[in-house]
Amino acid sequence: MAGPLEGIRVADFTWVWAGPTCTMQLAHMGAEVIRMESMRRVCTLRMLPPWPDGQPGVNRSGYFNQYNQGKRSIQLDISKPDGVEIAKQIVAMSDVAVENFASNVIDRLGLGYEELRKVKPDLIMISMSGYGRGGPESGYVSYGPAQVPLSGMSQLTGYAGWQPMHVGMSYGDPNAGLHAAFAVLSALFYRERTGRGQYIDMSQQESTMAVLGEGFMEYGMNGVQPPRNGNRVAHMAPHGVFMCAGEDRWLSIACANDNEWNALCGVMNRPELAADPRFRTHADRKANEDDLEAEIMSWTLLQDPLEATERLQAGGVAASPPLVNRELAEDPHLASRDFFVEKEHPEVGVRQHAGIPWRMSDTPCDVWRAAPVMGQDNDYVYGDLLGLSNGQIEDLKARQVIY
């Protein structure tokens, strides 16, 4: 059976992380995604580790190969007029165009929406700039790490009395990619009903802010800034990560109600804590949270986190160790769901990559091949799709429009 986007073609002008995350979702759902790349300006993601066996190379980045699974790649220099014309020919045969350059860069290249809709009137195009196409900050430079503080996320992250903290990764990038894929799917539904394409102007800053609703509501409803409070949350107690036996071993535990707290006390074999007036109700536990966490850690310090997780989960308590990469890669639950995929890559061989995190009963999705080496699909796109002759292709190569 075909994937839900079988027959949809995507002209992919994206680079780094945010844009490729978007087009990877579309490829997962069966769309044919054609990346347009150039050795003149190699995608930053191709130049980042981890490297298989410690050997770098433009086709060897584990980072790139994760977020470009299932796509095609051609070499095309869109800074040259002939490259622009070829890109337009590809767009004319496509349904969607995706770009995540800085605001207005795609227009300066001659590949903005108004130009591309001339060759594909029902085109759906999305621009994923840092701050959107309008407003006084639309021309600002944008990187994923900057989106975290600009969204307000850093101001909410950290321990009580500490400074704002980065969250450990550039959440603005993959989050923007997921929002963008959703927007593209919505536009495809619209085109199916009306026959009309449209332009999508997406701000990566705003898409990051969209996941912080509780922070905005605290100010909107009460006029206050939510405090930084480590791992604690207002509606659960306990809610934290506790040190365990062994070196750098931890266990997360969360109790949403009194029943779960009583169950935790039972697993810890500490029934007296359930009756302790400091901890009897949620309000009591929140009022004495330092003491609460100290009591729990006195137990977890003697526990293996994996064994404790099994006992707590069996007792109805939400608990899990913060798994390291090796534990995730070897996790039997993920293996049973075929989450990881192993495809033969032309240069680095078979490597394990995170696959598709959903299952569809009627339109199954699949990673049909590993990420492409640069220019892997030149013959298919220039020959089979565009119908260029060998002479035309050699002429374009001689002028370094294609490689």
The segment(s) of the chain belonging to CATH 3.30.1540.10 are 239-320
Residues sharing a CB contact under 8 Å with residue 372, sequence separation 6 or more, in sequence order: 35, 68, 71, 72, 73
> For the domain 239-320, what is the CATH code?
3.30.1540.10
What Cα–Cα distance (Å) separates residue 270 from each residue in 9, 276, 284?
A: 60, 10, 17
384 flagged as catalytic: no
CATH number, domain 9-211+334-398: 3.40.50.10540
pLDDT at residue number 337: 96
CB atoms within 10 A of CB 79: 13
Closest CA to 104 of 131, 69, 68, 122: 131
Amino acid at 340: F
Other Cβ atoms closer than 10 A to 109:
17
Establish whether the linkage from the previous residue to 238 is cis, with ω within 30° of 0: yes
Averaged over successive runs of 10 residues, the pLDDT of the chain (403 residues) comes to 93 96 98 96 95 96 98 97 98 98 92 98 96 88 83 91 88 94 98 98 94 88 92 96 97 98 98 97 98 98 97 98 94 96 96 96 95 98 97 94 91
Considering 12, 95, 173, 377, which one is annotated as catalytic?
173
pLDDT of the residue at 216: 86
Q: Angle 219-224-225 (CA atoms, 0-180°, nearest 5)?
A: 85
Q: For residue 19, what are its two tokens?
A: 């844009």
pLDDT attached to residue 340? 97
User: Strand, coil or helix: what is 354?
Assistant: strand
pLDDT of 1: 66
Query: Rounded to whole angstroms, how far apart are CA atoms 264 and 298?
Result: 13
The helix/strand count (H/E) of the chain reads as 19, 11
Distances (CA, A) of 7 to 2, 47, 94, 213, 318: 9, 32, 10, 37, 42
- Residue 70 vs residues 24, 96, 311, 380, 382: alpha-carbon distances, Å: 7, 16, 40, 15, 19
Range 369-388 burial, b when 16+ CB lie within 10 A, else e:
bbbbbbbbbbeebbeebbeb
Domain with CATH 3.40.50.10540 in the chain: 9-211+334-398
Strands (E), 139-237: 198-203
For 308-328, letters b (16+ CB in 10 Å) and e give: bbeebeebebbbbbeeeeeee
- For residue 57, the SS3 value is coil
Instruction: Give the angle subtended at the CA of 381 by the CAs of 356 and 367, to the nearest 5°.
Output: 10
352-358 LR contacts (CB < 8 Å, sep 24+):
353/65, 353/66, 353/69, 354/66, 355/69, 356/28
The kind and range of the H/E element at 101 are none
Give residue 44's pLDDT. Answer: 94
Helix (H) or strand (E) holding 112: none
pLDDT given at position 238 = 98
pTM of the model: 0.94
